[in-house]
Amino acid sequence: MDNLQKNILNKIKAGEISMVPKWHFVLRGVLWATMTIVVALIAIYLLSFVMFALRESGLMFAPLFGWSGLVLFIVSSPWIIILASGFFLLALYVLVSHYSFSYQKPLVYSMVGLVFLVIALSSFIQTTGFHNQAGDFANRHGVPGLAPLYRGVGERPPQDVTKGTISELTDSQFTLIADSGEVYTVELNNRTKLPKQAELIEGESVFVFGHLEETTIKAFGVRINNGQQPRLPEERGEGGGERQSRPALDGSSYKMRTVE
């Protein structure tokens, strides 16, 4: 130990080793922490925006409708933003890996834990209405980059997904007033997947999944637009005159009610 100390002191005296001031380490730590926080916020924002866009467009429900829905999800998802989220997530891991606490965990555990944390925070943010408010602000003030990004969510819906309001219901079809103003006839058949143990309601907002031919949509799936599992009438607490119960085409049963 004495020889090591003497060697170090001799090298310092000879100018071979220079002393680094303490503020240098403090500044580097502050800059590293700031960069980590900024990258984390960007990763969380981008991933929460992806979740928001998938929810608003209805694409998040598409995989529930079998192969057709899965193909639709893969083709229409915002892959550029998804890849950007992955890039910032990887950059965040590189930054976090420089902190001592990350050395105590295996590489895979640290990465998986970080991914789950970012996903959890992103999921929470997209349920708070943050992106609705951010979109309104960006559109009102014409924020470069953000305004067209948020407008694209509503103005460029995915192909074969139509969002609108049910106008009239029958056993084999219903009339849909799309959010864009067009009126479509939605045809249902034995393969159309409808909400299980729930009701389709005149005046209900829904996502219709199916190919559009002129003014007719041949639906392979219908999803109530509430972002949650369809609820029964008692859970909704809705009023209105009840129509006769009718069997659903997939073998389950649901009630059709008119909201007064």
Number of domains in the chain: 2
85 within some domain: yes
Q: What are the two backbone dihedrals, phi and then psi, of residue 230, each rounded to the nearest 5 degrees? A: -55, 140
Looking at 123, 154, 185, which one is the last position of a domain? 154
Q: What is the pLDDT of residue 2?
A: 65
Element (DSSP H or E) covering residue 171: none
Q: What is the pLDDT of residue 39?
A: 95
Distance CA 145, CA 73 (A): 25
Q: Are residues 118 and 143 in the same domain?
A: yes
5 within some domain: no
- The tens digit of pLDDT for each residue in 173-202 reads 899 999 888 899 999 888 888 887 667 888
Residues 232-259, mean pLDDT to the nearest whole number: 40
Q: Are residues 166 and 146 in the same domain?
A: no
Element (DSSP H or E) covering residue 95: helix 79-96
The residue ranking higher by pLDDT, 248 or 23, is 23
Q: Are residues 145 and 32 in the same domain?
A: yes
Q: Are residues 82 and 170 in the same domain?
A: no
Looking at 125, 154, 183, which one is the last position of a domain? 154
Give the Å distances, CA to CA, from 6 to 3, 9, 10, 88, 138.
5, 5, 6, 46, 64
13 within some domain: no
9 within some domain: no
Q: Are residues 166 and 231 in the same domain?
A: yes
196 within some domain: yes
Strands (E), 43-195: 161-169, 173-178, 183-187
| pLDDT confidence band for 157 (50 / 70 / 90) | confident
Give the Å distances, CA to CA, from 172 to 168, 185, 253.
11, 10, 14
Q: Are residues 150 and 164 in the same domain?
A: no
